[in-house]
Amino acid sequence: MRILVLGGDGYLGWPTAMHFSARGNEVMVVDNYLRRNLARETRSEALVRNPNLHERASIFNAVTGKKIEVRIADCSNASELDELFLEFHPETVIHYAEQPSAPYSMIGYREAQRTLNNNLNATFNVIWSVIRYVPECHVIKLGTMGEYGTPNIDIEEGWIDIKHNGRSDRFLFPRQAGSLYHTTKVLDTDLLWFYVRLYGIRVTDLMQGPVYGLETAETGADSQLMPNFHYDDIFGTVLNRFLVQAVAGIPLTIYGKGGQVRGYLNLQDTLQCVELACRQPASKGELRILNQFTEQFSVYELAERVREAGNDIGLKVSLQHIANPRKEKEEHYYNAKHAGLIEMGLKPHLLTGDVIERMLRRVMEYRSMIDKEKVLPRVRWG
C-alpha cells in the first residue's frame, strides 16, 4: 500500500513510518520540523537528540534495507501538500501533522494562534488534496480523547443517539475540550464530518489518549531510531515524565489531587491501532470514530505504579502534589467505551510492573542527559 505519513518526524509519526515500511508498504513521510522548532524555542528538547528525518531514513535503510521517502514540507501550505499528493498518489494518508501540545497552546495569543492555524489548515488542506486528487484515499486522522473532556456520563465511541421531544437522531458525542490544542481537534472532527457528508470521503478519526513508551519493534535495530522522547512540561506526556522524574530522583509531579482519569496506551499499541484502521478502512461517506486507548488510570494511580516499579529496582521514588497549572476536574466520573479497536483485533500491551521496569531501565541509560530544569510546569491555564 502507498502510505503518506504527515507529521512523520513526530513521537508517533516516525515509529509509524518505520512500522509500515518494515512490513513492505511504500511509505513517504512529510514534516516541516514544527515540533522540533517549538521545542527549541520553549527549551523542551527531547531526552535524546534525534537525527533529522533524512538521517533517520538512511539509518533505517542501512539496518533493514527498506526505504522511507522523506519530504520536508508544510502541510498547512496547500500548494506544498498538493504537490506531494500528485507525486505520491497515496492510498492511505495518516495525518499527524499537528501542534500536539496542550500546554504550548495555552502559553498566550501567539502560541494559540499558531496552534489553531497550523492544525486547522493542515486538516483542511488534507481534505481538499484528497477530494481533488485521490478521492478513494482513506484518511486516518489522529484525534484525541480530550475532545470529549470529562463529562458526567459514559463517553461513547464518537456518536450518541439522542431522543428529544419524542423524536430521535444520531449526533457526534458532545465535545468540551480543556485546552486550545484539544479544541483544534474538535474543530478538525467537525471539518472532517462536514466533508464526509458533502463529498463522501472516507475517514477514520482516532480518539487517542496519552501515549507512553520509547520502544517499538523497529527501534531495537539502532538506538538512533528511537522516537522523540519528551519529558518536559510542554511536550512530555504524563507517564513519560514520571519515568524520567523517577530516574532523576525528582518527586513525581502530580498536578492537584491526581484524580484526573484518562485512557492510556503503549506506543506499540498506537502502531497496532493505526495498522488495524489501515487494513480495515472506513467506507466511502463514513466518518468512523474509534476511541484509542487500552486502560484507564488516574494520575495518582500512574504515579503509584511508577513508584512501586521504581522502588523494586532500587530507585528512591517519591510523589508530590503540586498546584495544578491546568483548569481541569481533579475528581470526576470517567467511563469511556473503547470496544471498536478490540473488535477489529487489537491485542493490548498493558501497563504491568515489568513494562514500567523495562521503560525505567531504558531511561536510566540516558540519566546523565536529564535536564532537571525542564520538569516543573511553566505554563498556567487562564
Known catalytic residues are: 144, 181, 185
Instruction: By CB under 6 A, tell whether 209 contacts ligand USQ.
Output: yes
Among 124, 173, 255, 297, binds ligand USQ (CB under 6 A): 255
> Does residue 227 touch ligand USQ according to CB under 6 A?
no
Q: Decide whether 21 or 150 has the Cβ nearer to ligand USQ.
A: 150
Q: Would you say 140 or 145 has its CB closer to ligand USQ? A: 145
From the number of C-beta atoms within 10 Å of its C-beta (0-12, 13-18, 19+), residue 163 rates as exposed
34-72 burial: b if 16+ Cβ within 10 Å, else e: bbbebbeebebbbbeebeebeebbebbeeebebebbbbe
5, 27 Cβ separation under 8 angstroms: yes
Closest C-alpha to 214, from 79, 67, 93, 363: 363
Which of 253, 268, 292, 294 is the binder for ligand USQ (CB under 6 A)? 253
CB of 3 to ligand USQ, least distance (A): 21
Contact mark string toward ligand USQ, 313..352, x via CB under 6 A: -------------x-x------------------------
Q: How far is the CB of 244 from ligand USQ (least distance, A)?
A: 10
β-sheet bridge partners, residue 192: none
Pick the binder of ligand USQ from 34, 46, 238, 287 (CB under 6 A). 238
Under the binding rule (CB under 6 A), the answer on residue 57 touching ligand USQ is no
Q: Give the x-and-dash track for 73-112 against ligand USQ (CB under 6 A).
A: ---------------------------xxx----------
Q: What is the nearest approach in angstroms of ligand USQ to the Cβ of residue 173?
A: 14
Work out whether strand 202-208 and strand 138-144 pair parallel, antiparallel, or are unpaired. Answer: parallel
| Binder of ligand USQ out of 35, 71, 262, 338 (CB under 6 A) | 262
- Separation of alpha carbons 17 and 166, rounded Å: 49
Binding flag, residue 32, ligand USQ (CB under 6 A): no
Per-residue DSSP letters for 65-121?
A: S---EEEE--TTSHHHHHHHHHHH--SEEEE--S---HHHHTS-HHHHHHHHHHHHH
Strand partners, 167: 164
Residue 341, Cβ density class (10 Å: 0-12 exposed, 13-18 middle, ≥19 buried): buried
Is residue 30 within 8 A of residue 5, CB to CB? The reply is: yes
- Judged by beta carbon, residue 94 or residue 254, the one nearer ligand USQ is 254
Measured from the CB atom, the residue of 141 and 262 that comes closer to ligand USQ is 262
Which parts of this chain interact with ligand USQ (CB under 6 A)? Answer: 100-102, 144-146, 182, 208-210, 237-238, 241, 253-255, 260, 262, 299, 326, 328
